[in-house]
Structure 1
């Protein structure tokens, strides 16, 4: 009983110490509010306000029809330029797309020839260039076909494809980006907070005070784990309710309580990782460098950005040892698809096992570090 009382009181001390760290508090609030909102809104949902220009060397009804087919919100109002302004405009980044309609284009179309329109694309604007290329081709082909046929004919295909997008019927990137950024913030802050708490003890000299008390390394470490984990759980749950559901209006299908339980198991593993990194790093700058090495694989290879099925099989197998892989899987299943415990229990079990291994490794390293200080 005394052990758990020590853990509780040490955890309260950690919470008070964190409350006095203004910079860390700002980071927590920013990560779970502004960062979640900006990331969700900045993801390329579709082509939106792409700058486009035309070099109209034909000046025909068909060329005017093509130019007038490009309008907001997919494109900005088209700019009409001459051929000598095309290259300087693209070099200056004024236009993502420039279409050069050649002379006698309409005459060649009506004569049954196959004239070419040159489409210049600024491929440095990757998202717009990739999506907009198909948009431009479809619009031009549609306008030319309608002009030749004198009407917009409905094409009858031999088979009709019925598309039903489940769980995200509008294919909105906000629904996906907000939850994934929330998961990334949970992982990042849990590692940073526990690692920084240990480094802060060392830098302020309070770790020596703990060593002279009748406390075990297990009690010291467990206090940091539950205190920092509690902060992340509270702030992340509030962010899910206020920012994701409230401000961004993302519908949550499953049980938030079940998600919070999975988050707690995930935090058990990531806070242990933070303790381990805190024993390796000697200062916050070193901690920051280690975070870059650890966070990037955890975030990019967990399935939150790219589906795991598209990764090499070796990477898929290696990432099974990462807690983020299983946390992303259960979060998507619960929050998007409304899955219950009967579906996500394998991920819960995996998080318990991974968290236990990380905790034992971190505790061993922590004991060794404490012993060297003593």
Structure 2
């Protein structure tokens, strides 16, 4: 049996976890995760099921192999993570797919929200006067407020909701966010941060151990209060950060589909029976699904995502290759010393 000693043990290998780990200086650190993949990107349903934050997983169809995110979002040009990636230099090893389209779905009506002058000219749901003011805004000749004051109520509602998406470019890493997690973990490993990915590890506080286990460490290491055990070794730590679930959840539906009406990387909002939903479309340029198919993510903070919501996005049941739903619970790190 091998014994190791660290100042700090930290749970989690998501991008957010690793960024927090990087802030600890002048300490020996071990990062542990009770799953077999880095980060929050998955290629296996069983690994998703093992994740601490996932509850009530339902599998409706599993006829394709995809790479999917636990909590999907696109990377905005204004995000702090973009600055961190650029500063760290790992952007040299990453490829990104550009997100081209934004949509607003109101019951059965799908609105393409124009991002370019070409899209604006081709747009069928805006009148000439609205196109004039929106073109002035896209050219940065007027403020959003001036444009908004000259729009119809429905148009104003759509552009107000989509404001952040209009003002920023969005990207998604090829092969998903796991690529960033793995590169960040390698960068940390160079700086002497150790990693364990093992769903079978157990964690105990020294006070809970019996006398035999207490005698495993010498008197000069009695301040190592926490024990992380697995088959091959035992790790003792002075301080511990573990994840605790909070009572805040999000409903998720993930599908792999053919014949998608949106046809390329896109995202948007759904308004259905006075409930708001977010959705994301990932195409095969991401290398996360087979060519000719798309990954559809739908999220809600208020209600489960039923088939009616899916059908609003204009695809048929025969087009579905993969279909799962689950709930994500937010987590927060607790510190023990």
Shared topology, TM-score over 0.5? no
- TM-score, length-normalised on structure 2? 0.25
Q: Highest relative contact order (Cα 8 Å, sep 6+), 1 or 2?
A: 2
- TM-score, length-normalised on structure 1? 0.23
Q: Which has the higher helix share?
A: 1
